[in-house]
Amino acid sequence: MRLIDKLIEKGVLVEPEIVETGLFDSLSESQQEELLNEDLEILSRDLLKKIIGKQKESKETFEIIYDYKPKQEKIDVNMFVKMFNNRYRELEKILLQRSELEGVMSINRIKSDNEGKKALIGMVLEISETKNKNIILTMEDPTGTINAIVSKSRKDLYFEVKDLVRDEVIGLTGSKSGEVIFVNSIINPDTPLSKELKKSPKEEYVIFIGDPHYGSKVFLEKEFKKMISWLNGQEGTEELKNIAAKVKYCFITGDLIEGIGIYPNQEKDLLILDIEEQYEKFTDLIKNIPQTIQVFIIPGNHDAGRIAEPQPSSLSDFAPSLKSMKNVHLLSNPCLVKIAKHKNFSGIDVLLYHGYSLPYFADTVESIRNAGGMNRTDLIMKFLLQRRHLAPTHSSNMYVPSETDDLVIKTVPDIFVTGHIHKVSVGSYRNITTINASCWGDVTDDQIKRGIEPQPARLVVCNLKTREVKIINFLGKRKK
């Protein structure tokens, strides 16, 4: 139904000239929704302009840059090919800006070209080792495949090669000899060295809440409520109360609820056995977050609905009361949100990803595994930023193939946030703050089996004026 028809149905008298002005056509879906929620008798052109102006004013400090909506696509085998081609093209665009890759050629052309110096951009199809411990990389681009050899004598490349993973897109330089390339250098798409550390002109704060898992017997309700009391200025030292008063944004990194049937015999760990009830009661807690704070929520693998990534927010179907809250924004996993947009300041981009792929890379990438694996989320996040992809290897996550690869990190964020690991970590890579949020549940058997050592009830707080990050421990001294 058209917006005008909906307004008329509501009993609103709409001035006929509004339709001619085209103002209705310029309204976004959320603006239309807000207009329908206004208590109106007559809608004149001036009033409509005023309402639009008011909406813009109230929303000027944030902007949803990317929020995935499922596409109406026929999924078949070709879709995998299209998706990987799209990934290749997107990352190729980034790599082509690198001076080291000047004169890059397609694999097909290299094969028919003379021997000598070559540069190529390809996807790592296979990594194998010869008997003599040289590494063979089978590289693929849309024109063909070629083997690239990294000699064991190249000690300078050893660590880079050991950290390569299947399906990532890299640039290679080397010398063609016979049918193969002997590798001289490996180039990641990476994030620019020149990225500026953006700071808001105003002292304002953003908080990151990780993995609440509401509905589980071990949900730390007392601690969660204490955190919300702090946000309301009723908890903590004067210094902390001053920070709470300036919190403007809140991100929740998924796994809002514990869910049902996520792992065998999960029922014994559940306090609430109904998904909708888990959401309803969780929403009751969220309602106590001050309305002046914009809350951005993505789903995780414990949430209801589609789990495959990119994961659209299906929370509006399962958690209608959460959806109806004006300061709550239910977004996809991953998503990109700009916050702290002010006059003469373009804002700070926050990339939010639940983090399903993180354990795979903690285990697969040698340097990360040796440095502590899942205890080093900062290194995993750096690794993903360098690959410019949230889950470079097929099988590192569950995904739905599409014509585009929505997990490519096209926009370099200012803050990159994940959850899923249930452990706090704060790092920085080339002026990008990397944050893994905490969780709000104590240890469960399932987590022990998966080798996760949770660090619950920690709240990550970032001062957007200084970009300093603080961790507030709401668990107190009760447990470590």
**Which residues form the interface with Fe ion (CB under 5 A)?**
211, 255, 300-301, 420
Report the distance separating Cα 421 and Cα 474, nearest Å. 18
| Amino acid (1-letter code) at residue 435 | I
Q: Which is it for strands 335-339 and 294-297: parallel, antiparallel or unpaired?
A: unpaired
Shortest reach from residue 109's CB to Fe ion, in Å: 44
- Judged by DSSP in three states, 475 sits in coil
Report the distance separating Cα 172 and Cα 88, nearest Å. 14
Using the minimum distance from each CB to Fe ion, give the nearer residue, 62 or 296: 296
Shortest reach from residue 354's CB to Fe ion, in Å: 6
Shortest reach from residue 254's CB to Fe ion, in Å: 6
Shortest reach from residue 302's CB to Fe ion, in Å: 6
Using the minimum distance from each CB to Fe ion, give the nearer residue, 236 or 355: 355
Report the distance separating Cα 95 and Cα 168, nearest Å. 12
Shortest reach from residue 479's CB to Fe ion, in Å: 18
Using the minimum distance from each CB to Fe ion, give the nearer residue, 276 or 446: 446
Shortest reach from residue 420's CB to Fe ion, in Å: 4
DSSP 22-91: TTGGG--HHHHHHHHHS--SEE-HHHHHHHHHHHHHHHTT-EEEEE--------SHHHHHHHHHHHHHHH
Report the distance separating Cα 353 and Cα 9, nearest Å. 40
SS3 content of the chain, % helix, strand, coil (to 5): 30, 25, 45
Using the minimum distance from each CB to Fe ion, give the nearer residue, 171 or 310: 310
Burial of 195 (0-12, 13-18, 19+ CB in 10 A): middle
- Judged by DSSP in three states, 138 sits in strand
First to last CA, the chain: 56
CB 248 within 8 A of CB 263: no
Using the minimum distance from each CB to Fe ion, give the nearer residue, 259 or 427: 259
Shortest reach from residue 13's CB to Fe ion, in Å: 50
Using the minimum distance from each CB to Fe ion, give the nearer residue, 51 or 270: 270
Shortest reach from residue 215's CB to Fe ion, in Å: 12
Q: Which is it for strands 247-252 and 205-209: parallel, antiparallel or unpaired?
A: parallel
